[in-house]
Structure 1
Amino acid sequence: MTFTGNGCAGRVVVITGGGTGIGAAVAERYAAEGAHVVVVGRRREPLEHVASSVGGRVIVADAADTAAARDAVAQVLARFGRLDVLVANAGGHGFAPVGETDDAAWDQALRANLTTAFVMARECLPALVESKGQIVIVSSLAGLFAGPSVAGYTVGKHALIGLTRTLARDYGKAGVRVNAVCPGWVQTPMADEEMDEFAEQAGLASREDGYAAVTADVPLGRPAAPAEIASIVRFLGSGESSYVTGAVLVADGGAHIVDVPTLAFDHAGM
């Protein structure tokens, strides 16, 4: 059975890191269009909260563990008989410079940000080849540029773009499309924690002031809502993007187009 058409009704969508933030928003978006949503992650409580709100299913599993990922895919196929979209969204860890990153922290960062996507993609590929499905990999603006003191995270997110391109090249002839999304600041629980810490260190009054500060030089002047990123993921993981593969779609409010050396002119009112 091969899916045809551009809509999402009836499609089977697996979302890693589906319990919070962007993953939860992606689950909500697909479910609203009638897709069968399966959220995968290591923490049962947030997964169940998302699944109960969207009518989806929960699989508690470490996406970086081969046996767990293989079992998750087997559960999906046993329940639905097919798999149409993998959204590789799991990530986190790696928030230190190289000189302060020990071997354990390095391994943890790459496992969370890269291995999760690699292992799940590998285990989903046979089913995706059969359905001529899609993989959407959620990278980050950190996959294109380097922020301060985020070595493991930055390297992992950069590597996701390489993974996207090699998957797209190798499996395009089999009908599988693979694309990446690189969000900038998004108001997720993880970003909220960062903003709380940043606001305290910078002497700002609130989390909102923190977001305002980090987006002050972004053309759109604000962070994204998770639903805005979910809309992009849904586009790439649907028939509406039927001739797009190997692409890296940046969703950062325009941050990447800013010429940093000219910011001084703006700040001087010129």
Structure 2
Amino acid sequence: MSLHNKVIVITGAGSGIGAACARAFASQGARVALIGRREPPLQALALETGGLALAGDAADGAHWTDALARIHARWGRVDGLLACAGGLGMGSALATDDTAWRAALSVNLDTAFVSARACLPDLIAQRGSMVLMASIASLAAVPEACGYVTAKHALLGLTRSLAKDFGPAGVRVNAVCPGWVRTPMADLEMQPLMAAYGEDLKAAYRRVSADVPLRRPAEPEEVAAVCRFLLSDEAAIVHGAWLAADGGATAVDVPTLAYSRLAAEAAG
């Protein structure tokens, strides 16, 4: 699954899954261009991976003009894109004002669209590939996350549209749908559970993973391994697909969970 000498652009690279992907790709010999809003973590990661830090908003076309100029000046091309920027969008529809709605769509959907549009000329020339970071919230609604769920569902539509239009040009496009992943963002989402049940972070993750078949969240490095595969030549026939990296969460038949709990109580 070598990415040796491939130039991979990663948005949302400053922390969490994006940072783990940068390290994983660099370990395979890739050259990584790191895009994110916060410059200090990008610079630190660039120093660690030998990458190029390009602080800015991935949803801003003007930023991409400058970013691609710098990437081309250093490496001459783009071979792959991982659109990993995301977040925001919490709250029901009644709790989501216009500003929050636009922010959720910008961070989760616009960043992927603008990134793809900017990189496509290079990806067509290189017969490259891209991966969009979706979520199991792309497949089913999670509570109190109207903006996030809507944008993540739309990412799968974007994946399919790009796959249909640019597959004939040799560009592969796929999506990854993680479940819970131990990241700084997910740690924050554990806080209400920790407060409500008087639990520590580890116990909160156990609680949200109680009905996941593997009974645990993913580590960022595990999701990075999936992304590395999809961007590599080993996945040459995988196109227009989404791959769940969720410990089996989406394999569970939710309406029958009560029976599983009943069986567990009887056994215990």
- Corresponding residue for residue 49 of structure 1: 44
Q: After TM superposition, list the pairs within 5 Å mapping 1:1-270 onto structure 2.
A: 7-201=2-196, 203-269=197-263
Identity of paired residues, percent? 52
> 1:215 corresponds to which letter in structure 2?
S
> 1:248 corresponds to which letter in structure 2?
W
Count of paired positions: 264
> 1:184 corresponds to which letter in structure 2?
G
Aligned-pair CA distance for 1:107: 0.3
Contact 2:193 2:199 in 1 (8 A): no
- The whole-number CA distance in structure 1 between the counterparts of 2:255 and 2:159 is 31
- Corresponding residue for residue 3 of structure 1: none
SS at match of 1:98: coil
SS at match of 1:191: helix
- The whole-number CA distance in structure 2 between the counterparts of 1:196 and 1:56 is 33
- TM-score normalized with structure 2 length: 0.96
- The whole-number CA distance in structure 2 between the counterparts of 1:233 and 1:106 is 28
SS at match of 1:99: coil
SS at match of 2:243: strand
- Deviations along 1:18-60, whole A, 9 cap, x unmatched? 0100000000000001110111011001111221222211001
Contact 1:199 1:206 in 2 (8 A): yes
SS at match of 1:64: coil
Aligned-pair CA distance for 1:268: 1.5
Aligned-pair CA distance for 1:235: 0.5
Contact 1:19 1:49 in 2 (8 A): no
Aligned-pair CA distance for 1:196: 2.2
- Deviations along 1:118-149, whole A, 9 cap, x unmatched? 00100100011000000100000111110100
- The whole-number CA distance in structure 1 between the counterparts of 2:214 and 2:137 is 19
Aligned-pair CA distance for 1:61: 1.4
- Deviations along 1:145-198, whole A, 9 cap, x unmatched? 101000000001110000000001100011100000000000000001111232
- The whole-number CA distance in structure 1 between the counterparts of 2:7 and 2:23 is 13
SS at match of 2:94: helix
Q: Which runs of 5+ in 2 are unaligned?
A: none
- The whole-number CA distance in structure 1 between the counterparts of 2:230 and 2:128 is 11
Taking only aligned residues, the RMSD between alpha carbons, in angstroms, comes to 1.0
> 1:130 corresponds to which letter in structure 2?
A
